[in-house]
Structure 1
């Protein structure tokens, strides 16, 4: 049976594999996660995973820190943040709109931050 989170979040890096991709040390990965420069997910087994969707062409996607900071005001659940970032939703015309992470990749940082504010507000209500 497939873990539903694996389907929702997609592939993830370990700390070591992400450090290799970014050409960082593992401590730099830890520090970046602590300051929300990266999304880090803690598994039930105590392993730290880093969703691959936040990396593009060997770099952290621009705007991820700002979005994570906003989402953190609504819930502390990083798994919820990951789901919000990677899920596509149907828009008003029943067409699937790009996920927040796809919008960030396309450079629509301000739009994603605005959506994150609305979402964080609803989570905290």
Structure 2
């Protein structure tokens, strides 16, 4: 990176990511199962401009896909089809919020609250 280049802000928003292969190893799934789960919103799957497929690591908690992720992603997609926007909503820290990141609802078993807030933001995105 040169002095004039700025770091990509998405790297901070998204955080560390798995590739298809590393997600398959982590979950002990086949690579085909990982891609299929991403295509059916059982995993949050991102595609870069270069076509690289990535899976944000925040969706894995205690070695498994966080419970309730599929339900929340299905709601978020009603407001926008952009997985990058869903990622931002799930992972950006909001210092005065409880919890500070929306993904933490799912870490803490607060699925109904996550779904409520996802419905609200999906409605706002689609207006």
TM-score by length of 1: 0.93
Q: Alignment RMSD, CA only?
A: 1.2
Post-superposition offset of 1:3: 1.4
Give the Cα–Cα distance (whole angstroms) in 1 for the partners of residues 100 and 112 of structure 2. Answer: 15
Give the Cα–Cα distance (whole angstroms) in 2 for the partners of residues 44 and 27 of structure 1. Answer: 21
1:45 corresponds, among 32, 47, 50, to 50
Give the Cα–Cα distance (whole angstroms) in 2 for the partners of residues 35 and 122 of structure 1. Answer: 23
1:106 aligns with 2:108: yes
Give CA-to-partner distance per residue, 1:66-115, whole Å, 9 cap, x none: 00000000000100000000012244xxx674211111101101100000
1:117 aligns with 2:119: yes
Over 3 Å counting, the alpha-carbon distance change for 1:96 and 1:90 in structure 2 is farther
For 1:32, what is the secondary structure of its paired residue? helix
Q: Judge conservation of contact 1:88–1:96 (CA < 8 Å) in 2.
A: no
1:28 aligns with 33
Post-superposition offset of 1:57: 1.7
Question: Unpaired segments of 5 or more residues in structure 1?
Answer: none
TM-score by length of 2: 0.92
Give the Cα–Cα distance (whole angstroms) in 2 for the partners of residues 97 and 27 of structure 1. Answer: 34
How many residue pairs get matched? Answer: 122
Question: Unpaired segments of 5 or more residues in structure 2?
Answer: 1-5
Instruction: Report 1:57-76 matches (<5 A).
Output: 57-76=62-81
For 2:54, what is the secondary structure of its paired residue? strand
